Amino acid sequence: MGGTTYDPRARRVQEAPVTAAVPTTTASRQLGVRTLPGVYAPQHDTHLLLRALARETVRPGSEVIDLGTGSGLLAVAAARRGAHVTAVDVGRRAVLTARLNALLARQRVTVHRGDLADPVPGQTYDLVLSNPPYVPSPLGPPPRRGSARAWDAGHDGRAVVDRICDAAPYLLRRKGVLLMVHSDLTGTEATLRRLSRGGLRAEVSDTASVPFGPVLLSRLPWLRGRGSWASTPTRRIWWSSVPSSPDRPARVTLGAEGPILVEGPVEVVGDDGTLYTSRRFTAAICTCRRTRTYPWCDTSHRRRVKPERAAGDEPEKKTDEPEKTDEPEKTDEPEKTDKTKTMDNKTDGAA
């Protein structure tokens, strides 16, 4: 940020870590949009930003810009409310997709191909929307081509987020608003500080917890190694909290049938309210298709090999044995996730 000093109020939306799953045509059509191959289709973070947009006052004739429009869903949503909307994306296919979806929705949206606000120099807006790339990547600088360009954003995930924060004061009109969404892994406080240094009042305005998708699941070892995600599940995030330190077990509430592996120690709240404590480094938790939650599951009902117990660990006593079943394991495809945040920056007038 730079230039004119603003005294804005900002709200920020926060999710859980949002991973980049390769978008599906089915998910896109459910939202009434089409996406060309390689274009980022609407995901959980898009829904979070749409939710924030729905709460925002958008008057007919308001000037709105959508940076990194992708499918154009956000731009079309703003246009439906009578705004004059400009959408920008660096990808040729994204530009074509956004134009197609605006045409199908019978909404007028001006779509430019370019890097952030470069195609509209000197223009200011009442509302700036952005769902930028924000997934940390071990590969270094963001890719220049390919579908990963829609989510990979450098080692810290801030390659594009920081640029938007710095550009916001130039783009926002008096009492203008910035709504931006990104993951907790990208650094909530870093974004708030950067916006504040530019004269904006930034805050988290909404949050949503989203399961890790295939991209972040594949990067868990790297994220653990760099300290970004010290205590993570080896499968999906189905619980209310994650252990923060070895000497203070976090209380975990199982939200779905397992078995799942969690890194301990943990306190597990069963379906019947019973509290179990597991001091093992790795604990397998499962509802075993019953109302009873077990802090250690041998996975026999799924015809799997029993996980090896840590040395010196005594098995915990169980009153019931899990049922065996011949049913095949049911698995859900992880969706795009992590905690995502949406930022809404409001200006209260130039100083």
pLDDT band at 220 (very low <50, low <70, confident <90, very high): confident
Helix (H, G, I), strand (E, B) or coil at 224: helix
Question: Is 170 within the bounds of a domain?
Answer: yes
pLDDT the model gives residue 101: 95
Cα separation, 182 vs 343, whole angstroms: 8
pLDDT the model gives residue 89: 96
pLDDT at 9 over 80: no
Question: Is 343 within the bounds of a domain?
Answer: yes
- Window from 55-64, 69-78, 332-341 with minimum mean pLDDT: 332-341
Same-domain check for residues 194 and 318: no
pLDDT at 3 over 70: no
Same-domain check for residues 299 and 343: no
Cα separation, 23 vs 27, whole angstroms: 7
Same-domain check for residues 246 and 157: no
Same-domain check for residues 278 and 209: no
Question: Is 255 within the bounds of a domain?
Answer: yes
pLDDT the model gives residue 186: 84
pLDDT band at 344 (very low <50, low <70, confident <90, very high): low
Question: Is 223 within the bounds of a domain?
Answer: no
Nearest to 191 by CA among 146, 150, 130, 236: 130
pLDDT at 160 over 50: yes
Same-domain check for residues 208 and 172: yes
pLDDT at 145 over 60: yes
Question: Is 232 within the bounds of a domain?
Answer: no
Cα separation, 91 vs 121, whole angstroms: 19
Provide the CATH number for the domain around residue 194: 3.40.50.150
pLDDT at 262 over 70: no
| C-alpha distances in Å from residue 124, one per residue of 127, 131, 157 | 9, 19, 26
pTM of the complete model: 0.61
| Per-residue tokens: 321 | 């044995």
Same-domain check for residues 100 and 245: no
- Give the mean model confidence (pLDDT) for residues 18-31: 39
Same-domain check for residues 317 and 340: no
pLDDT band at 31 (very low <50, low <70, confident <90, very high): low
Same-domain check for residues 112 and 146: yes
Same-domain check for residues 35 and 182: yes
- Give the mean model confidence (pLDDT) for residues 26-46: 74
Q: Which residues contact 308 (CB under 8 A, 6 or more apart)?
A: none
Same-domain check for residues 211 and 318: no
Question: Is 230 within the bounds of a domain?
Answer: no
Q: Which residue has the higher pLDDT, 77 or 186?
A: 77
For 281, the domain range is 237-331
pLDDT at 207 over 60: yes
Question: Is 118 within the bounds of a domain?
Answer: yes
Q: Which residue has the higher pLDDT, 191 or 242?
A: 191
Q: Which residue has the higher pLDDT, 236 or 193?
A: 193
Q: Which residues contact 254 (CB under 8 A, 6 or more apart)?
A: 238, 239, 260, 268, 269, 270, 271, 285, 287, 293
pLDDT the model gives residue 253: 56
pLDDT at 169 over 50: yes
Same-domain check for residues 131 and 90: yes
Same-domain check for residues 295 and 341: no
Question: Is 1 within the bounds of a domain?
Answer: no
* Domain count along the chain: 2
